Structure 1
Amino acid sequence: MNDARRHAPAVARNRDPILAVLRGALPSSGLVLEIGSGTGEHAVHFARAMTGRDWQPTDPDAAARASIEGWRETERLPNLLAPLELDAAAQDWPVESADAIVCINMVHISPWQSALGLVAGAGRLLPAGAPLVLYGPYRRAGHAIEPGNAAFDEDLKRRNPEWGLRLLEDVADIAAVRGLDLERVISMPADNLSVVFRKR
């Protein structure tokens, strides 16, 4: 059998700092819906570390879902669920409810429509008090953009004009319309941010 598992070098560097944020933000039990799970390495790490939660990975890309399933078959974690096909920008998601939503490194490597869909979906699925946790690089009003992030932003826009680092305040504004209030912004390694929203 061919091994469909993919590896992203950044995961080994950022998974533990993200895990520390998640431990403080997520409920102690319930279903955590991960949007844009990519290789599946984060899902494995978080499901193993937070055994009280069921971790639901998703991705719109078939090869990514094959990688997630490869990791799932290898690791055999009882709380890591089979990956679902989910496009954040779609009107309908294959999940009716969740106790928390996590999205890592998607908002800047997707069209703005995906960010709009992400917060709309979170607004539909999450109960009052539940978190939406984002991780990645952002621009911030009143803050000079870091040189590494500026170069990354230019590279993203060269690859696809619809991509690029988003202004955090713009993301907070569209989230607020969907009933999600900005709770915390945590500085992370390599000029990234973790952003915690909470459903009103």
Structure 2
Amino acid sequence: MSQPTYSKSSIYTRQGLWSLFLMCAFPLHLWTIILVFQDVSWVAERTNAWDAVGVASYAMVFALVESLLVFLIMTLIGFVTPRRWDVNKRVAFLTLLILILAIWGIASQLLFLWNINLSEQVIQFLARSGHPLWYLYGVSLAVVIPTVFVPVYIFLRSDKMSIFIYDLADRLLVLSMFYLLFDLAGIIVLIVRNSN
């Protein structure tokens, strides 16, 4: 991400939108590839390698679609950010939101994959409380809200945080473009598999 100067009146530029899309794609594709590596050997053992490639292809194409949806949502959120921000600051802010969202999404999937559940005592307490959802939502919000608001607050108060996020995104863009090649390969594999 080069840092050209833009008019402060423009919400986005083509380069800014491309950078935002690649940052939407990065965490989703990274997590998908990690999960694919976990599942490919299992699928190959049960069926064959071509089926494992098919499973990986479906996963990559799904990650691409998911990236496009997250990109659309983040682009719309960008329209409610302050107009005085330049494109780079807006993209850095949205990148921060994407990374926070991705970390929480990965954490929730890890809880499921590692089969981490509430203890029997906690379940009994919630059942007797009469309002189990209030407690669950309250504890969840007490954990999630600081992990969102503290980084956002630091971002809004510190230009160094904005520069750090922008530089981090700049370093991850090449890797994100590489992931898009996996998406293209996945689409080709799915076309070949479904044309037979």
Same fold (TM over 0.5): no
Normalised by the length of structure 1, the TM-score is: 0.23
Normalised by the length of structure 2, the TM-score is: 0.24
Structure having the larger proportion of residues in helix: 2
Structure with more relative contact order (C-alpha pairs < 8 Å, separation 6 or more): 2
